[in-house]
Amino acid sequence: MALNKRQLQPGERIRVLIVDDSVVIRRLVTQALSEDSTLEVIGTASNGSIALQRIVQLAPDVLTLDIEMPEMNGLETLKRVRKEFPHLRVIMFSTLTERGAAVTLEALALGADDYVAKASNEGSLDQSMARLRNELIPKIKQFFLLPGQSRVTPPRSGTALATPVFNQTPATTVPQGRQVIHGPRIAPRILAIGVSTGGPTALGALLPELPATFPLPIVLVQHMPPMFTRLLAERLNSTCQLSVEEAREGVTVAAGSILIAPGDFHMRVAKNGAGVRICLDQAPPQNSCRPAVDVLFSSVGEVYGGAVIAVILTGMGQDGLRGIEILKAQGASVVAQDEASSVVWGMPGAVTNAGLADKVLPLDQIARELVRLAGRN
C-alpha cells in the first residue's frame, strides 16, 4: 500500500539524505536543494552501506539514491531500505541509457517511489542546477503537504461520485455548451489510461489482470522519457495476456493490444478509413509533459465521442483533468485510483475533486471494473 502525504508543520523542512559515489553530484544536488527553503540536506553518503548507517543516525524523510555505487549499489540498498525503513521516500538517480532505464524500472518494481535523470557532464553548471531545481525539487515535494495545504477525507473506495469531495485542487469547468453526463451512457469502444508517478508498478499490477479476451483496444500515456517507455512496454508484454508495445506512427488501434505513448512524443488517435490509427508528434508539452494525457484523451474524444472508458491512475499534477472533462461531457465512463493505493494522488485526486469520476477504486479492484464496463452492451 502506498504512503499518504505527510503534513509538514509550520517551520518544518523536508529532510533529504543524498547517496551518490560522485563528489561532484553530491555537491551539485546539495546546492540545488539548499536553494529551496522547504528542503534541508541533512547529510550525504558515498555508498549504500554508509547510507544505511546515516538513515539510523539522521532520520531523513527522503533518500536520493544513485544506482551504480561501490560496496553496496543502489538496488541492494533499496531492498534493505524497503525492509528496514518502509516509510522512507526513495527517489532514484538514473542515467539516460538503456542499462540505466532497465535498472530504474527494476528499482521502481522493488519499491522506489520515483526517479530523475542523473545530471550529465554535458552543458554548463547553471544548466545542470536548473534541471535539478525543475525536476528533483517537485518530485521531492510531491510526497508532502506543505503548511497551508489541507487534506480533505477522500471518498470511500468503490463509491460513485456526483459532487467534488477533495479540495486540494480547484475544480475546473466543463467546456461551454457541454453538459456533464454522470454515469455510463454509451457502450465503450476503447480504454484510455493516464498515469505518472508510481505508474510502472501500478500498470504492472493492473494490466496483467485483464484477460486475453478483453474486447477493447487500450491506449496509454505514462510520463517517461524516451527508451524508458520502450523498456516498460517490453516488461509489461512479458507479463500481460494482451500484447503490449510502444506505439509507432500509423499503427492500427485494435482490440487485443495495449499501445504506450513513446517518450518525448504526444500520442493521438485519428480516423483512418473504417479504422483508427496512431499519430505521433512533438508539439509543445502540455502540463509540462510530453507525452501528455490531455493530448491523448482529447483526441480519443474526437474519434470515439463518449464511447470511452477513461482511467486515471497515480501521478503528480493534473495532467488528464482537461481531457476527462471533455470525455465526461460526452458520456464516457471514468475510473480513478483511490488515494490509499496511489503513490501520489495528484492526477486521480484532481479528477475526483472535480466530480468527474464514476468510481474511485483501490488499484486491485480496477481490472474487475474495467472488465465489467467493457462487457456492457
pLDDT at 3: 62
Inform me whether the pLDDT recorded for 124 exceeds 70.
no
Q: Domain-by-domain residue ranges, the chain?
A: 6-145, 190-374
Q: What is the mean pLDDT of residues 237-244?
A: 98
Is pLDDT at 249 greater than 80 in this prediction? Answer: yes
Whether 161 has a pLDDT exceeding 70, the answer reads no
Which residues in 58-135 belong to E strands, given as ranges? Answer: 62-66, 89-94, 114-117
What per-residue confidence (pLDDT) applies to 29?
A: 92
Report the CATH number of the 190-374 domain: 3.40.50.180
Q: What is the pTM of this model?
A: 0.87
Strands (E), 227-338: 243-246, 257-260, 266-272, 275-281, 308-312, 333-337
Q: Residue 260: what pLDDT?
A: 98
Topology classification of domain 6-145: Rossmann fold (3.40.50)
Distance separating alpha carbons of residues 133 and 88, to the nearest angstrom: 21
DSSP 185: -
**What is the mean predicted confidence (pLDDT) over 174-202?**
74
Q: Look up residue 146 and give its three cell numbers.
A: 506543505
Number of alpha carbons in the 13 Å side-chain half-sphere of residue 136: 31
Report d(CA 72, CA 51) in Å as an integer. Answer: 10
- CA atoms of 315 and 113, how far apart (whole Å): 11
CATH topology match: 6-145 vs 190-374: yes
Predicted confidence at residue 131, as pLDDT, reads 78
- pLDDT at residue 170 is higher than 60: no
Q: Of 131-135, 164-168, 232-236, which range is least confident?
A: 164-168
Looking at the chain, the whole-number percentage of residues with pLDDT higher than 70 is 86
- Please tell me the total number of residues recorded for the chain in this structure: 377
pLDDT of 137 reads: 94
- Look-up: residue for cell 540498498? 77
For position 122, what pLDDT does the model report? 54
Q: In which band, very low, low, confident or very high, does the pLDDT at 180 lie, cut at 50, 70 and 90?
A: very low
- Residues identified as active-site: 196, 223, 319
